[in-house]
Structures are given as structure tokens and as C-alpha cells.
């Protein structure tokens, strides 16, 4: 991901005392030592020899540091030797997941917690990532620890310039951890794509990516393909696609095969027209098996009626969203036991 510097903003850690300055301050407070006395003390200590014999009692007091593994397939072998890894584990980072990501393990071993990581944690907290989410966030995106702080602040400033509120940015960053790895140019191009391709207003485009922020981080090819499927293969008009996507953004990233199978059953088997599917596009998020089982049960009972102009109308929302017990008693007018017995006959 591009991490070019897009602007300059003050660091959230700039007001914190520098560890280096603290050490300098401590040194300044120490009294001047008398060089002559110091050297005289050294002269009193006889030079040690590598061949000098030591007592058994002295040998027992020697503590050898454990050797750092020269090579390992897991970060667990390094935790006892690395203060950085130990602190990340304490923070809630799952190293077993991090090491599955390409070169992420090597990255963590090169970082210093105080110098490299602390400033990123303060930045994330300032953006709005909750304390208890920092560990899971870094588990999903450890690469942010190597990003330039100025570049990260520039990307947040860009989102603010597009009128995204602080709470909205926090929600987007938390739900799409890779969001801030992308440059301002990338984010701007992606927002422009959805606005122009779907014909949405600026406000609706913002609402779309707030609800599904991974649209800004994922590949565009599946999105383009799904839009073509909806228009060419499923037969929806452009304004209908616009409504469907705005109500149910996940359609843009859904499996093409599943999308076509669900449409085929709803439209060609159940007889649901395009305008009804446009009104209740959330039905495409439901499992096809659930739709089939409930439709067949209603057909068996003679209650499969989806025309709002007719009596005993059942909406698609009621068909798929209600729990089984509520669906049976309120929609099918049957018991849950009847439904379970029917499913066994399929």
C-alpha cells in the first residue's frame, strides 16, 4: 500500500516527554565525579582473566541469558526475548494470526515499542479505536505499525475534509482496518468511482461507505462484475440498481453465483417481480435454503401470497427476517413442530 506523505500534521505524541530528554535530564542532575578518585578505584581492581579459576559458589551465581533463536517458524519463540512482542501480547495482539500474514512477523521483530509502536497506538486512540480493540485491530493490520505518522494523519484529515464526522471515521477505521494504509489519491478515486458509477449524491455515497467501509479497501473488479450481473443478467434498471445498492451495499461484494441463484428462485419460482425485489433487496442477503424451506412450507399450507394487492399478503422481509417460531405462529399460522415435521419430508 502507498504510504507517501500527503501533508504535515502535528503528532499526537508531540506533547509527551521524550525518553531521550528524560535520560539527559537525569544525567544533568548527577554530581560531577572526581576523575582522580574514579581512576584510583579502578586501579584497585585487578584485571580479570578468562583462565582464572572461580569458586563453585561464584559459578552458581552466574546467570546465562537464554539464546535468541536463530530461526523459527513461530513468533512464540521470540516473546521471552522481545519486550516489544511481550507488550503486544499484553495488549491483546494474537501473534499466531499475525505470523500468517506475509512478512508481518519479521516486521514486528524489527520494531521498538517505545520508538515505533507507541505513537501509532496514540494515533489510533485519537482516531477513535477503543482500548479493547487495539489488540484485535493490530492482529488484522500489523502493517500500520510501519506507516509514516504524517501520512496517517493526512489520510484522516482528508476524510474530515469530506465531511466525515469523528465517530464515522472511527467506525470506518475499526470495521476496515486496512483503510488508513491507502493514500489520499486512492481514497479520493474510490469515492469518486461509487458516486459516478451508481449515480449517487455525495451524501448517499458517504452513507454507503460508512455502512460498508471495505468498499474503499477491496478490489473493484468484483464490484464492477456484480453491477453488470444486476443489469444485464438479472434485468434490473439503473435506478433500481441504485436503490438496491443503497439499501443493501453487501450486494456489491456478494458471490455472483449466489446472487444469480437467489434471484432465479425469487423471480422465476416464487414469481416476485423486479419492483418488489427493489423494495426488499435485503432478501439477497438471506440463505437460499432458508428462502426455499419457508416458501415451500407456505405453499404446502396454501399461504404463499406475495402480492401486496391481495389478502393475506406476506412481505419478503417477513419471509426471511423473522425467527422460526415467530414465522410459524404469525406468518404461517402453524406450530414450530409442524414446520419441523414438514422439513423432514423434504
- Domain contains 266: no
In whole angstroms, give the CA distance from residue 336 to residue 184: 54
What is the tally of structural domains in the chain? 1
pLDDT digits (tens, 9 = 90+) for 69-114: 444 456 665 666 678 888 898 889 999 899 888 888 888 888 999 9
Q: Which cell goes with 271?
A: 414469481
- Domain contains 2: no
- Domain contains 261: no
- Domain contains 92: yes
Residue of 134, 136, 135, 143 whose CA lies nearest to 111: 143
pLDDT digits (tens, 9 = 90+) for 31-79: 444 444 333 343 444 444 444 555 666 555 645 444 444 444 566 656 6
Q: What pLDDT sits at residue 346?
A: 86
Element holding 159 (H helix, E strand):
helix 149-161
pLDDT digits (tens, 9 = 90+) for 1-42: 444 434 333 334 444 444 444 444 444 444 444 444 333 343
Global confidence as pTM: 0.71
In whole angstroms, give the CA distance from residue 211 to residue 315: 24
- Domain contains 200: no
By CB atoms closer than 10 A (0-12, 13-18, 19+), residue 338 is middle
By CB atoms closer than 10 A (0-12, 13-18, 19+), residue 178 is middle
- Which residues 6+ apart lie within 8 Å of 9 measured at CB? 150, 153, 154, 157
- Domain contains 131: yes
- Domain contains 327: no
Quick check: 98 and 140 in contact, CB under 8 A? Answer: no
In whole angstroms, give the CA distance from residue 179 to residue 198: 21
Quick check: 205 and 194 in contact, CB under 8 A? Answer: yes
Coil, helix or strand at residue 299: helix
> Average pLDDT for residues 252-265, to the nearest whole number?
96
Q: Which domain holds residue 101?
A: 74-146
Element holding 169 (H helix, E strand):
helix 166-175
- Domain contains 137: yes
Q: What pLDDT sits at residue 99?
A: 86
pLDDT digits (tens, 9 = 90+) for 171-224: 999 999 999 999 999 999 999 999 999 999 999 999 999 999 999 999 999 999
Amino acid at each position: 500500500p502507498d504510504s507517501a506523505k500527503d501533508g504535515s500534521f502535528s503528532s499526537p505524541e508531540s506533547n509527551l516527554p521524550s525518553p531521550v530528554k528524560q535520560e539527559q535530564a537525569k544525567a544533568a542532575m548527577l554530581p560531577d565525579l572526581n576523575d582522580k578518585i574514579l581512576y584510583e578505584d579502578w586501579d584497585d581492581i585487578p584485571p580479570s582473566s578468562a583462565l582464572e579459576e572461580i569458586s563453585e559458589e561464584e559459578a552458581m551465581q552466574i546467570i546465562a541469558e537464554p539464546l535468541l533463536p536463530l530461526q523459527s517458524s513461530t513468533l512464540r519463540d521470540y516473546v521471552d526475548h522481545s519486550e516489544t512482542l511481550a507488550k503486544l501480547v499484553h495488549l491483546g495482539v494474537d501473534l499466531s494470526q499475525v505470523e500468517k500474514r506475509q512478512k508481518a512477523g519479521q516486521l514486528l521483530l524489527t520494531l521498538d515499542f517505545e520508538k515505533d509502536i507507541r505513537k501509532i497506538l496514540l494515533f489510533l486512540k485519537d482516531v477513535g479505536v477503543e482500548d479493547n480493540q487495539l489488540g484485535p485491530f493490530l492482529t488484522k493490520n500489523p502493517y500500520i505499525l510501519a506507516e509514516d505518522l504524517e501520512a496517517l494523519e493526512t489520510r484522516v484529515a482528508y476524510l474530515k475534509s469530506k465531511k466525515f464526522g469523528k465517530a464515522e471515521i472511527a467506525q470506518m477505521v475499526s470495521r476496515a482496518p486496512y483503510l488508513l494504509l491507502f493514500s489520499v489519491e486512492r481514497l479520493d478515486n474510490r469515492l469518486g468511482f461509487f458516486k459516478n458509477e451508481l449515480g449517487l449524491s455525495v451524501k448517499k455515497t458517504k452513507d454507503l461507505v460508512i455502512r460498508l467501509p471495505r468498499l474503499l479497501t477491496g478490489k473493484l473488479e468484483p464490484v464492477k462484475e456484480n453491477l453488470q450481473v444486476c443489469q444485464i443478467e438479472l434485468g434490473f434498471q439503473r435506478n433500481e440498481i441504485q436503490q438496491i445498492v443503497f439499501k443493501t451495499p453487501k450486494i456489491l461484494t456478494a458471490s455472483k453465483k449466489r446472487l444469480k441463484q437467489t434471484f432465479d428462485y425469487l423471480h422465476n419460482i416464487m414469481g416476485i417481480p423486479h419492483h418488489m425485489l427493489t423494495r426488499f433487496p435485503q432478501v439477497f442477503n438471506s440463505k437460499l435454503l432458508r428462502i426455499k424451506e419457508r416458501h415451500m412450507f407456505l405453499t404446502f399450507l396454501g399461504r404463499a401470497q406475495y402480492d401486496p394487492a391481495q389478502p393475506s399478503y406476506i412481505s419478503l422481509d417477513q419471509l426471511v427476517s423473522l425467527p422460526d417460531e415467530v414465522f410459524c405462529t404469525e406468518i404461517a399460522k402453524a406450530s414450530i413442530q409442524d414446520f419441523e415435521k414438514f422439513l423432514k419430508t423434504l
